[in-house]
Amino acid sequence: MTAIIEAINLRKTYMMGKVPVEALCGVSFSVEAGDFISILGPSGSGKSTMLNLIGALDKPTSGTMLIDGVNVGKLNDARLSELRLKIGFVFQSFNLIPRLSAKANVELPMSVADMNKARCSKRAIKLLEIVGLKERMNHKPTELSGGQQQRVAIARALANNPRFLLLDEPTGNVDSKTAHEIMSLVHRLNKENGVSIIMVTHDQELARTARRTIKMFDGEIQSDMVN
Amino acid sequence: MKTFDILGYSFSTIRLRKLRAALTTLGITIGILAIVAMLTITQGFQVAVTDELNSGLSTNSLIVTPGSSQGGSEGGVTISLDDSGFKLYLNDTSDIQNLSPDIDSVLAVISKVGMVESDYLNSSVHVYGVDYETYARIYSTFDAESGTIPTNPKNDTIVIGSSVSDPDKNGTQFIVPGDSINLVWLNVSARPFENKTYTAQVSGVLGAVGGFGFGGPSDSGVYIPLSTAESFFGTDVCDMIIVKLTNSDEDTIARVTDLIRDHFGNQVSVISSTAIISLLSTVFTTIQLFLFGIAAISLLVAGISIMNIMIVSLIERTREIGILKALGMKSRTVLMIFLGESVIIGFIGAILGIIGGWITAKAVVWVLGSGLIIGTGGGGLAITPVLTPIVLFGSLAFGVGISVIFALYPAWRASKLKPVDALRQD
């Protein structure tokens, strides 16, 4: 198995006014292709900072962050954008574009990646079918339930055949029944389609559904164990 | 992201806030409307004035009048009101003729103000003593619409301008070829004043020339043979000498102008018709630039409002920009989306402005010509707004350009947003 993510002694320091705050204090771990891991921790543990680094949204202050073998810290703005095309981001609050239909939302990352319109459309329909929302593809996010919106967000994250799905509290904004449906879908994608999953959560029950859990506290890894 | 997709995305954001976009577009529309209306009217006015001048002027002629001239020959127009007592005489024409091979012919003109008395009409006229044949060669407008202009006129022959025959310009001719009219001139040089009269036979009536008859035939003029004028007015002093050149090159005009001036010891004014037209063209260009400047201010205001709206939009859409960047959109694409919005707004605004400006220009010209506003009706000039390709494409480019320039800063700010910060926004 090859490592899709390799973090070596990651440090991230923010300035709160004039006071430096260490959000990550030398974190190291790796994720193999096809893996399903959860990053668990309470608020302030550094898991959101970790999420931003894994999502190539931010660069570490020191240490090395390799995504698909590429050192994030050494990339310029344009190369970082290209790298993000390989990451399927699923946000806690869905973050769909409200004026676009479900299908157009799924098409958007493909359009960003210069895919032609016909292929975008065909693939968007297929992805919406996988997440069980083909019939509602012309509905706008405001016309969909929270669970449906999250499923559209997952379909969007899968659009460019990402190296891994990065889920930020995927069930944080939905009820328990919908949360179960969403997690079933995520597990199915991992098992049947071989999609690597990295899930950031503060929910211990949810974290236990992953194959491996990295527990974080005060910017450090407390434990890294197989469930 | 493909250009078409970028424009499509830009358009979807405009559609989201239709009223705001419409009001922003209206700013550009008003600015372009003002520019197009002002420029098309002034250009129409310039064309009308130049046409009038061209019909009354001969481009390869110079007009020599007594009076010292100052300045060089570059401008070509040096008119002085300084009366030094210098006079031009009829026999000066042969001297001028011999000055340069570029001179085709020379014509002396005796000009006085007199009265025409006929059975039905008494009117004040300008009386010109000219050699008919030479005058007709210089000015194509010295052509009879009715009757003839004889090459060897009798002493009592007279040719009259169109408004002398038809003062109301409604087709009713009070004087026609073959009529006898009395020409009356009051000699104020004699003591006591002397009223001189002779009866002339109308040989021809000129076609309508237009408002400006600078040196050339005028609608309110009457033309008698030079020898008759010399004896009737009792003078061999001429009021102007018209010099026809073999060509209308600027060099030739400048050279002959200098020769004539030097010949008369710099005591004459030499005016070329091309110089008058070029001077007028300069004046019109200045007026147009001035009006363009005024109209451009409103476009500038529209540009500032675009910047304002874009900054508001940027603040509202910060999170969306964060999402787009998290999905892999490059900063350059975000910049293009914002600029795309400004291009669409500028383009639609400019097109509407051009159409509106053209309609406004037509309406203004119609109102001015109809006499709805007191004192403007029945003016001599018929103005038609002129929309040149330069004004058309220039205002389109200007409208789009202003929109893009003022959108540059908000677009740049949007493109520079860090996704991690933008996603934190509510």
DSSP secondary structure letter of residue B358: H
Q: How many Cβ pairs closer than 8 A exist between chain A and B?
A: 65
Place of tokens 């009395």: B182
> Is B328 within 8 Å of A85 when comparing Cβ atoms?
yes
Are B122 and B116 in contact by the 8 Å Cβ rule? The answer is yes
Both structure tokens of B1: 């992201």
- What is the rounded CA–CA span in Å between residue A157 and residue A147? 15
Least confident of A19-23, A179-183, B361-365: A179-183
pLDDT at residue number B153: 82
Assess if residue A204 is contained within a domain: yes
Q: Which residue has the tokens 């359009």?
A: A111
Q: Look at residue A190 and tell me if it is in a domain.
A: yes
Residues of chain A with C-beta less than 8 angstroms from the C-beta of B2: 111, 114
Test A52 with B420 for CB contact under 8 angstroms: yes
* Mean pLDDT, residues B199-210 taken together: 86
The confidence score (pLDDT) of residue A100 equals 92
In terms of average pLDDT, the best of A179-188, B63-72, B152-161, B413-422 is B413-422
Query: Is residue A23 in some structural domain?
Result: no
Contact A78 B329 (CB under 8 A): no
Extract the tokens encoding B311: 């900054």
Q: Do A81 and B320 touch (CB under 8 A)?
A: no
Helix H segments across B206-272? 226-233, 250-263
The answer to whether residue B59 scores a pLDDT higher than 80 is no
Q: Assess whether pLDDT exceeds 50 at residue A150.
A: yes
Model confidence at B55: pLDDT above 80? no
- pLDDT band of residue B137 (cuts 50, 70, 90) is confident
DSSP secondary structure of chain A: --EEEEEEEEEEEEEETTEEEEEEEEEEEEEETT-EEEEE--TTSSHHHHHHHHTTSS--SEEEEEETTEEGGG--HHHHHHHHTTEEEE-TT----TTS-HHHHHHHHHHHTT--HHHHHHHHHHHHHHTT-GGGTTS-GGGS-HHHHHHHHHHHHHTT--SEEEEESTTTTS-HHHHHHHHHHHHHHHHHS--EEEEEES-HHHHHTSSEEEEEETTEEEEEEE-
**What does the pLDDT read at residue B74?**
43
- Per-residue model confidence (pLDDT) at position B71: 45
Interchain CB distance below 8 Å, A112 and B333: yes
Shortest CA gap A109–chain B (Å): 6
pLDDT higher than threshold 90 for residue B345: yes
Residue B330 with chain A: CB contacts under 8 Å: 77-78, 81-82
Mean pLDDT of chain A: 90
Q: Alpha-carbon distance B322 to B312, whole Å?
A: 16
Which pLDDT belongs to residue B211?
57
Q: In chain B, what residues touch A84 (CB-CB under 8 Å)?
A: 325-328
B419 has pLDDT over 70? yes
Residue B69 has pLDDT above 60, yes or no: no
Specify the residue for token string 């003839």.
B148
The H or E element spanning position B196 is strand B194-206
Two structure tokens written together for A76: 């310029």
Given a contact cutoff of 8 angstroms between Cβ atoms, the answer to whether B338 and B404 are in contact is no
The answer, yes or no, to whether residue B359 has pLDDT greater than 90, is yes
- B1 and A CB contact within 8 Å: yes
Predicted local confidence at residue B131, as pLDDT: 92
Asked if pLDDT for residue B76 goes beyond 60, the answer is no
* A86 pLDDT above the threshold of 60: yes
Q: How confident is the model at residue B122 (pLDDT cuts 50, 70, 90)?
A: confident
Domain containing A184 equals 33-48+76-226
* Res A207 pLDDT > 50: yes
pLDDT (average), residues B212-222: 77
Subunit contact B319:A156, Cβ cutoff 8 A? no
Residue A156, domain member (yes or no): yes
Task: List residues of chain A with CB under 8 Å from any CB of chain B.
Answer: 52, 55, 57-58, 77-78, 81-85, 87, 89, 91, 95, 97, 99-100, 108-109, 111-114, 117, 156, 160
DSSP assignment of B379-424 equals -S--------HHHHHHHHHHHHHHHHHHHHHHHHHHHT--HHHHTT
- Statement: residue B212 has pLDDT above 70: no
Please determine, for residue B301, whether its predicted confidence score (pLDDT) is greater than 60: yes
Q: What pLDDT score was predicted for residue B376?
A: 46
Nearest CA in chain B to A80: B328
pLDDT of residue A128: 93
Instruction: Please check whether residue A138 is in contact with residue A155, taking contact to mean a CB–CB distance below 8 angstroms.
Output: no
pLDDT higher than 60, residue A79: yes
Residues B313-330: what's their mean pLDDT? 92
Does residue B99 register a pLDDT over 50? Answer: yes
Instruction: Indicate the pLDDT class of residue B57, thresholds 50, 70 and 90.
Output: low
Over 90: is that where the pLDDT of B425 sits?
Answer: no
- Please list, in sequence order, all residues whose beta carbon lies within 8 angstroms of the beta carbon of residue B125, skipping any fewer than 6 positions away: B113, B114, B115, B116, B160, B161, B164, B220, B221, B222
Position A57 in a domain? no
| Mean pLDDT value of segment B24-42 | 92
Residue B50 reports pLDDT greater than 90 = no
Confidence check: pLDDT of B373 > 70: no
pLDDT at B215: 72
- Total structural domains in chain A? 1
Residue B389 pLDDT > 80, yes or no? yes
Which range among A88-92, B44-48, B220-224, B349-353 has the greatest average pLDDT? B349-353
Average pLDDT over residues B167-182: 84
Query: Quick check: is A43 in a domain?
Result: yes
Residue A225 near residue A40, CB atoms below 8 Å:
no
Helix axis angle, B331-370 to B273-316, nearest 10° = 130
Model confidence pLDDT, tens digit, residues A3-37? 899 999 999 999 888 899 899 999 999 999 999 99
Does residue A197 lie within any of the structural domains? yes
Look at residue B73 and tell me whether its pLDDT is greater than 90. no
CA angle, residues A32, A35, A39, in degrees to nearest 5: 100
Task: For residue A117, give the chain B residue with the closest CA.
Answer: B5
Q: How confident is the model at residue B51 (pLDDT cuts 50, 70, 90)?
A: confident
Minimal CA separation from B26 to chain A, in Å: 24
ipTM of this complex prediction, to 2 decimal places: 0.92
**Chain B closest CA to A38's CA: distance in Å?**
20
Rounded CA separation A143/A131 (Å): 17
Q: CA of B18, closest CA in chain A: separation in Å?
A: 13
pLDDT at B377: 44
Q: For chain B, what is the mean pLDDT?
A: 85
Residue A50 phi, psi dihedral angles, 5° rounding:
-60, -45
Q: Is a pLDDT exceeding 70 seen at residue B83?
A: no
- The CATH number linked to A119 is 3.40.50.300
Give ∠ CA B270-B273-B277 in degrees, rounded to 5: 125
